[in-house]
């Protein structure tokens, strides 16, 4: 998720101001003598560089929650490390940890902005929130560390300390997730719970790796020294390389889907650009309804392929408008589309959406049938595009919506139609 859209600019400003304000407050609140030892400075600098590098190399892609696992693991390590082999007890508390981490985060983001790389201030501020929560819970609440003094020994056995730190990282990561989810769904707060649940499911594996890495750095530092930081960050670095390889493969995969979707255009079964328009408008409607990014990705792929079954027709439908075809013909096209998609063996979520793209909405209301919301979106948006034939004039819009309203609650989901109208209202008609 990147914050280039105009709607996210206020969040970018507020997020940046929050980082700066928090850093200044933390620095002014601490009177701790941390500059007395070059070794301590070396520890802080090493953690700071790791956080900056982690912010420079984040993980971000369409349909996935943006994250910076290297940065977060290093920041958690800094929150929890109180003793480093060869240095001894570290003479700083939570306020300075927060200040150093926040400054390193801000430097990493500033470097990305200077290099004209995409930045999400909402997600970056969420990471800072996680650091604040972790530092306060461990150093202030658990250790009751006094400003200007080394952290006291809590006397816990290593396994109990490990469980405690893991629990704190879980709480901190949940605070990050809740903050970013709230920021992203501010206009549609009713969808917050669903978005949080989806984000937890999609990011659980990577978040677990980040939490374990941060804890291992802290537990190993008294024995290995500052070498524990690069040693335990190495697996996350390799994970990032593998993830970027995966993103490249997925980009090629989406391009293959786009190419396949153009087959009906080239063969003359549908108007030029029909599938692309349905996909773009479906994504806008899905976001209006608060669908999580993972579902939006499947919705986009389903919308691109929704008409591919028309290639099996002997006689093309005039204008490719399946909404004007007989119900039996619509179901036959749907079955052919489903057969083609399922033949790939890798599009199960997309196939589930396409399986119900022609199912009337009344079956949800009358028979309590479980029809995915994404299927209902494709049905409404495809009908709109078929009825406008790609025209963007005010008259074409009004005529198409009038036809759709004739089937409201029977063929089409009223909630989806309302979302479509809101999306259209935000765009100016042509002519």
* pLDDT tens by residue, 217-258: 999 999 999 999 999 999 988 888 888 887 788 778 778 888
- Secondary structure letter of residue 412 according to DSSP: B
Give me the DSSP letters along 362-393. HHHHHH-----HHHHHHHHHHHHHHHHTT--S
Q: Is the pLDDT of residue 191 over 70?
A: no
> 7 vs 244, which has greater pLDDT?
244
Beta strands at 88-89 and 64-67: parallel, antiparallel or unpaired: unpaired
Spatial distance between the Cα atoms of 378 and 306, rounded to a whole number of angstroms: 8
pLDDT, position 71: 94
- Measured on CA atoms in the order 13, 15, 18, 20, is the torsion positive or negative? negative
Residue among 274, 269, 353 at smallest CA distance from 309: 269
Structure tokens at 47: 């953690």
**CA angle in degrees (0–180, nearest 5) for 238-244-248:** 145
Percent of the chain topping pLDDT 70: 84
pLDDT, position 104: 94
> 263 vs 216, which has greater pLDDT?
216
Q: Is the pLDDT of residue 378 over 70?
A: yes
Split at pLDDT 50, 70, 90, the class of 14 is very low
Q: Is the pLDDT of residue 32 over 60?
A: no
pLDDT, position 62: 59
> 213 vs 92, which has greater pLDDT?
213
Read off the pLDDT of residues 254-276 as tens digits, 9 standing for 90 and up: 788 888 888 888 877 888 888 88
- Mean pLDDT of all residues in 19-35: 45
- Class at the top of the CATH hierarchy for domain 262-425: mainly alpha
pTM confidence score: 0.68
Spatial distance between the Cα atoms of 417 and 5, rounded to a whole number of angstroms: 24
pLDDT, position 190: 55
pLDDT, position 240: 82
Kindly compute the dihedral angle of the four CA atoms of residues 167, 173, 176, 179, in this order, to the nearest 10 degrees: -60
pLDDT, position 131: 95
Quote the mean pLDDT of the chain.
Answer: 81
Spatial distance between the Cα atoms of 96 and 136, rounded to a whole number of angstroms: 11
pLDDT, position 13: 41
Q: Is 169 left (phi over 0), alpha (psi -120 to 50) or beta?
A: alpha
- Mean pLDDT of all residues in 389-411: 85
Q: Is the pLDDT of residue 30 over 60?
A: no
- Measured on CA atoms in the order 328, 330, 334, 337, is the torsion positive or negative? positive
> 147 vs 164, which has greater pLDDT?
164
Residue among 291, 292, 290, 263 at smallest CA distance from 275: 263
What residue segments make up the domains of the chain, in order of their start? 6-240, 262-425
Structure tokens at 362: 């009344």
Q: Is the pLDDT of residue 380 over 90?
A: yes
> Which stretch of DSSP H or E encloses residue 60?
strand 59-61
Beta bridge partners of 67: 59
Split at pLDDT 50, 70, 90, the class of 34 is very low
> Which stretch of DSSP H or E encloses residue 125?
helix 121-135
| CB-count burial class (<10 Å; 0-12, 13-18, 19+) for 399 | middle
* 176 touches 132 (CB < 8 A): no
pLDDT, position 73: 95
């Amino acid at each position: 998720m990147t914050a280039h859209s105009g709607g996210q600019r206020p969040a970018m400003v507020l997020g940046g101001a929050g980082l700066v304000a928090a850093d200044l407050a933390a620095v002014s609140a601490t009177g701790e003598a941390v500059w007395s030892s070059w070794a301590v400075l070396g520890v802080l600098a090493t953690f700071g560089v790791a956080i900056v590098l982690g912010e420079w190399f984040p993980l971000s892609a369409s349909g996935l929650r943006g994250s910076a696992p290297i940065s977060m693991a290093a920041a958690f390590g800094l929150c929890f490390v109180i003793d480093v082999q060869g240095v001894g007890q570290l003479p700083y508390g939570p306020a300075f940890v927060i200040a150093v981490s926040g400054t390193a985060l801000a430097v990493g983001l500033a470097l990305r902005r200077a290099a004209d790389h995409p930045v999400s201030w909402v997600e970056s501020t969420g990471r800072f929130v996680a650091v604040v929560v972790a530092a306060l819970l461990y150093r202030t609440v658990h250790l009751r560390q006094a400003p200007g003094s080394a952290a006291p020994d809590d006397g816990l056995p290593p396994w109990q300390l490990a469980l405690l730190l893991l629990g704190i990282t879980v709480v901190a990561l949940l605070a990050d997730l809740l903050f970013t989810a709230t920021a992203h769904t501010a206009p549609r707060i009713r969808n917050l719970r669903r978005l949080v649940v989806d984000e937890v499911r999609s990011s659980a594996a990577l978040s677990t790796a980040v939490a374990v890495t941060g804890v291992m750095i802290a537990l190993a530092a008294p024995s290995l020294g500052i070498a524990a930081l690069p040693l335990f960050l190495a697996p996350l670095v390799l994970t990032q390389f593998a993830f970027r390889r995966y993103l490249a493969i997925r980009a090629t995969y989406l391009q293959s889907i786009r190419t396949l979707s153009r087959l009906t255009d080239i063969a003359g079964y549908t108007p030029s650009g029909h599938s692309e328009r349905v996909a773009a408008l479906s994504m806008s409607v899905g976001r209006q309804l608060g669908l999580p990014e993972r579902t939006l990705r499947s919705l986009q792929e389903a919308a691109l392929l929704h008409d591919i079954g028309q290639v099996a027709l002997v006689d093309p439908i005039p204008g490719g408008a399946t909404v004007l075809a007989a119900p039996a013909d619509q179901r036959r096209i749907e079955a052919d589309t489903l057969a083609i998609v399922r033949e790939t063996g890798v599009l199960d979520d997309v196939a589930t959406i396409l399986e119900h793209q022609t199912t009337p909405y009344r079956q949800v209301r009358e028979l309590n049938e479980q029809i995915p919301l994404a299927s209902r979106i494709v049905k409404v948006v495809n009908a709109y595009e078929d009825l406008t034939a790609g025209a963007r004039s005010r008259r074409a819009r009004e005529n198409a919506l009038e036809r759709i309203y004739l089937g409201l609650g029977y063929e089409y989901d009223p909630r989806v139609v309302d979302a479509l109208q809101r999306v259209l209202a935000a765009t100016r008609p042509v002519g």
